[in-house]
Chain A
Amino acid sequence: MLQTAQRTAKSKGKKGAPASLGEAAVGKGAPPHDRFLEAFRWMLLARTLEEKLVSLYRGGQITGGVYIGKGQEAVSVACGIFLEKGDIFAPLIRDQAGRSAFGEPLIDVTRTYLGSRLGPMRGRDGNIHRGRPRDNQLAMISHLGAMVSVTVGALMAKRFRGEKGFIGLSCIGEGGMQTGSFHEGMNIAAVEQVPLVVVATNNHYAYSTPNDREFACHDLIDRAIGYGFEGYTVDGTDLANCLDVIGGAVKRARVGRPPQLVVASILRLSGHGEHDDASYVTDEIKREPFARDCLKVTEHTIVDLKLVDTETLAEWRRDAATQVDVAISTAQKEAAPEGDEEDWCAISTRDLVDSLE
């Protein structure tokens, strides 16, 4: 228990971290992983935030799409939680939990979705296409597979500059794994022997396309050996398993093992985006073990093992809701960008701007 408390206390320093678990929070049982409760709180925060974004979208208050990571929070949080200062994170569309655990403030999310000019993307890009490259949080482009090699390059830069002990973690879906860009990125990562972890989440659909029209190999993890990666599979509905396996991959990358591929299995518990009713998801697949809701599974574990009491759980929920409300109401009050005030300039070198005048 002491160890849990210490680990948690250490992580408190992170920007936007949930409030301390506190003495009162610690129940009788031993958690199945020492970051289990902390990870759960990030998952809870992500779920709370995304539910709120969905209701704003339904209420017509968000322009553009809303893409959520419902059901993927356990995998995603495990991607973000082990990263340290100096590590590179390349999240994708279902990684709210990981982004938060890595240190993305909620206000970055709400400002981007709500189009505040003060957000990191300043209304120039929206929803999940956000990041803060200066803080090592890469800003994904839509084109799937493209961010793997970018992560490799960032790691090479650190190596060139003589830094030590850093790693990079790049996320991908099983659909994105089928792009040429992903293949090239994986191969070049192994050629360069950079300390990279790639976490691929097979949520059994790429938009509406099921696995059997996405790939024909026996198991995606078999590709690891072909790329020169070390490969591990994980049950994405089991938080402790996610923390163990992805945490292990992060550790191995950090000590100089070859690049690591983790393939997680889960079911996407939402539409592709909120515009999509996901009517193509079969009843049969919804009964699969990988279709469990990782957040519920984690809550059951907490209750069953008496890790915290129900009052504490309720308090954590309230805390998440408050944080989300503040982030949303703040962004809602902020000004939107205006076309006639915008700096319409796509390069930073002002004297090389091609002016049509």
Chain B
Amino acid sequence: MSITYLEAIREAQAKLLRDDERVFIYGQDVGGTFGGAFKATKGLAKEFPGRVLNTPISEDAMVGTAIGAAMHGMRPIVEMQFADFSSTALNQILNNAGTHYWRTDVPIPITVRLPSGGTKGSGPFHSQSMESIYAHYPGLIVMTPATVEDAYTMLIEAVAIDDPVIYCEHKYLYYHLKAEKLPTEGLPTGKARIAREGRDLTIATYSAMLHEALAVAEQLATEGFETEVIDLRSVKPLDTNTVLASVARTGRLLCVGESFPWGSATAEIIARVTAEGFHLLDAAPQRMNAKDTPIPYHPNLWSVHRPNAKEIARKARALLRE
């Protein structure tokens, strides 16, 4: 048997619906026989009648409704059709869900699933990575699973967490990643994972960029460099300690993320490592993000708009020469 990242997300939701009667799924086209734009809820409406509900195209009200339901004992999962459209729910997510526990002492256990990141041909409005925006605001947990196993266990954990969770699932990984079977347990959220060990350079990354980084590490190995690759798994909380410990071994840090550069998760990692681990660094830490333009439609443009293995390798080599 082999299972994809997307199937893992579906299976996690099936398990959640089976095991916890407080769970319901709320989103555009998730119900009926359709099962979502990406089929992440395929078959679930039939298996769990009345608990996988189509909504109007009302991102603000979808999240507002989930907040009210969560406040009163439910564990809603909101599926955004694309992460990009969560921009019209920002108010409910940031100002309502994100402030509620602080203001009232009542936490809001919602999970908002964001089909994120680029696939070629998707253009400016179906390709965005929004983790950095959500991480900027207080009161939210932001998950960025990069593996089939994490896609599964972290979604289950997201729903169990009493606070709002933004679960960024990468669309490129949906079909490209496969695992033999689903895990029974995973690392807890907030713990980064060393995806590959090395002593010459640390690449700290998350989500789809993990796989670009692993490819780079493979390439650099043939050139005689050992790259340590860290899968952050969640950008909030950010496991700064694991990154610092790695930098203590390698002395060099490259952070890679797919969101826009200004104020991104990569900038935050560098700020922390520089402040806490300046003495560990043998060279100025570097970062790579998507370009500071809207995301292009054409594959020739798209493929160089976001960091890719070739560019990451170039940057890594320069850093190794420092």
Q: Contact flags (1/0) for B123-153 with A, using CB distance below 8 Å? A: 0000000000000001111000000000000
Residues of A within 8 A of B237 (CB): 352-355
Let me know if A150 and B65 touch, CB within 8 A: yes
Cα distance, A265 to B118, chains bound together (Å): 51
A184–B106 alpha-carbon span in the complex (Å): 25
A352 touches B69 (CB 8 A): no
Which of B11-19, B34-42, B53-61, B301-309 is found at the contact surface with chain A? B53-61
In the complex the two chains form, is A133's CB within 8 Å of B106's CB?
Answer: yes
Q: Which residue of B lies closest to A125 (CB)?
A: B103
- Residue of A125, A138, A156 near B69 (CB, 8 A) is A156
Cα-based distance from A147 to B68 in the complex (angstroms)? 9
Question: A146 contacts B238, CB within 8 Å?
Answer: no
Q: A258 contacts the other chain (Cβ, under 8 Å)?
A: no
- Mark A22-53 against chain B: 1 for CB-CB distance below 8 A, else 0: 00000000000000000000000000000000
Establish whether residues A191 and B68, one from each chain, have CB atoms under 8 Å apart when the complex forms. no
Residue on A nearest B164 in the bound complex, by CB: A347
Chain B: CB-nearest residue to A353: B237
Alpha-carbon distance A147/B104, docked complex (angstroms): 15
CB distance from B239 to the nearest CB of A (A): 9
Chain B's nearest CB lies how many Å from the CB of A181?
5
A339 CB → nearest B CB, Å: 15
A347–B101 touching, CB < 8 Å:
yes
Is the CB–CB distance between B65 and A152 below 8 Å?
yes
Question: Cβ of B163 < 8 Å from any Cβ of A?
Answer: yes
Pair A184/B61 contact, Cβ less than 8 Å = yes
Q: Is A292 an interface residue (CB 8 A)?
A: no
Which residue of chain A is the closest to B68 with respect to CB atoms? A153
Q: Least Cβ distance of B6 to chain A in Å? A: 26
Nearest chain-A residue to B106 (Cβ)?
A133
Q: Are A346 and B68 in contact (CB under 8 A)?
A: no
Contact between chains at A352 and B163 (CB < 8 Å): yes
A146 contact from B60, B107, B139, Cβ within 8 A = B60
Picked from B61, B102, B238, the residue with its CB within 8 Å of the CB of A152 is B61
Cβ of B313 within 8 Å of any chain A Cβ, yes or no, is no
With A180-B60, A348-B162 as given contacts, are A161 and B73 in contact (CB-CB < 8 Å)? yes
CB of B25 closer than 8 Å to a CB of A: no
B70 an interface residue at 8 Å Cβ cutoff?
yes
- Determine whether the beta carbon of B95 is less than 8 Å from that of A141: yes
Q: Does A154 sit at the interface, judged by CB under 8 A?
A: yes
In the complex, whether A129 has a CB less than 8 A from a CB of chain B is yes
* Interface presence of B121 (CB below 8 A): no
* B84-118 contact mask (Cβ, 8 Å, vs A): 1 or 0: 00001001100110111111101100000000000
Partner of A349, one of B88, B91, B96, B161: B161
Tell me if A187 and B103 are in contact (CB < 8 A): no
Complexed CA–CA distance, A348 and B99 (Å): 11
Q: Mark A331-357, 1 if CB is under 8 A from B, else 0.
A: 000000000000001111101111110
B61 touches A124 (CB 8 A): no
The reply to whether A185 and B72 form a contact with Cβ atoms under 8 Å apart is no
Q: Which residues of the other chain, A, contact B240 by a CB distance below 8 angstroms?
A: 356
Q: Which of A153, A352, A354, A355 contacts B70 (CB 8 A)?
A: A153
A160 to B63, CA, bound (A): 17
Which of A108-166 touch B at CB < 8 Å? 120-121, 124-125, 129, 131-134, 138-139, 141-143, 146-158, 160-161
- Could you tell me if B95 and A346 are in contact, using CB atoms closer than 8 angstroms? no
Q: Are B107 and A347 in contact (CB under 8 A)?
A: yes
Contact at B92–A124, with CB atoms within 8 Å? no
Known A124-B102, A148-B64, A150-B96; contact A188-B58, beta-carbon cutoff 8 A: yes
* In contact, B161 and A149 (Cβ under 8 angstroms): no
Is residue B74 contacting chain A, with contact meaning CB distance below 8 A?
Answer: yes
B252 within 8 A of A: no
- CB closest residue in chain B, given A347: B163
Q: Which residues of B contact A160 (CB under 8 A)?
A: 22, 24, 69, 74
Contact indicator B272/A156 (Cβ below 8 Å): no
Which residue of A124, A185, A191 contacts B103 across the interface (Cβ within 8 Å)? A124
Instruction: State the Cβ distance, A160 to closest chain B Cβ, in Å.
Output: 6
B190 at the interface (CB under 8 A from A): yes
- Contact A346:B65 (CB < 8 A) given known A157-B74, A187-B56, A352-B237: no
Q: How far apart sit A88 and B140, CA to CA, in the bound complex (Å)?
A: 25
A121: which B residues are within 8 A, CB to CB? 103-104
Nearest CB of B to A284, in Å? 36
Q: In the complex, how many angstroms separate the beta carbon of B186 from the nearest chain A beta carbon? A: 15
Closest to B67 in A: A150
Would you list which residues of chain B between 256 and 275 have a CB under 8 Å from chain A?
A: 272
Note all chain B residues with C-beta closer than 8 A to A132. Answer: 104
- Tell whether A146 pairs with B96 under 8 Å between CB atoms, given A124-B102, A157-B72: yes
For B95, list chain A residues within 8 Å (CB).
141-143, 146
Is the CB–CB distance between B92 and A149 below 8 Å? yes
In the bound complex, residues from chain A placing their C-beta under 8 Å from that of B72 are 88, 153-154, 157-158, 161
* B139–A156 CB distance below 8 A: no
Give which listed residue, A120, A142, A348, A354, contacts B238 with CB less than 8 A: A354
- Complex partner residue of A149 from B61, B70, B141, CB under 8 angstroms: B61
Distance of B291 from chain A, by nearest CB (Å):
27
CB distance from B139 to the nearest CB of A (A): 4
Contact B67 A153 (CB under 8 A): yes
> For B69, what are the chain A residues with a Cβ–Cβ distance below 8 Å?
153-154, 156-157, 160
Chain B nearest Cβ from A144, distance in angstroms:
10
Q: Are B104 and A352 in contact, CB atoms less than 8 angstroms apart? A: no
Kindly identify, within residues 162 to 205 of chain B, every residue whose CB is under 8 Å from any CB belonging to chain A.
Answer: 162-163, 188-190
Question: Taking each of B60, B76, B102, B106, which has the highest tally of chain A beta carbons within 10 Å of its own beta carbon?
Answer: B60
Complex CA–CA separation, A153 to B88 (angstroms): 18
* Residue B236 CB within 8 A of the other chain: yes
Whose C-beta in chain B lies nearest to the C-beta of A156?
A: B69
* CB pair B102 A346 closer than 8 Å: yes
Q: List 19 A-B contacts (CB under 8 A).
A: A121-B104, A141-B99, A146-B64, A149-B58, A153-B69, A160-B69, A187-B61, A188-B56, A188-B58, A188-B62, A191-B56, A347-B141, A349-B161, A349-B162, A352-B141, A352-B237, A353-B237, A354-B237, A355-B237
**Extra A-B contacts (7), CB below 8 Å, given A153-B72, A156-B69, A346-B139:** A134-B106, A154-B71, A157-B68, A157-B72, A184-B58, A187-B61, A346-B138
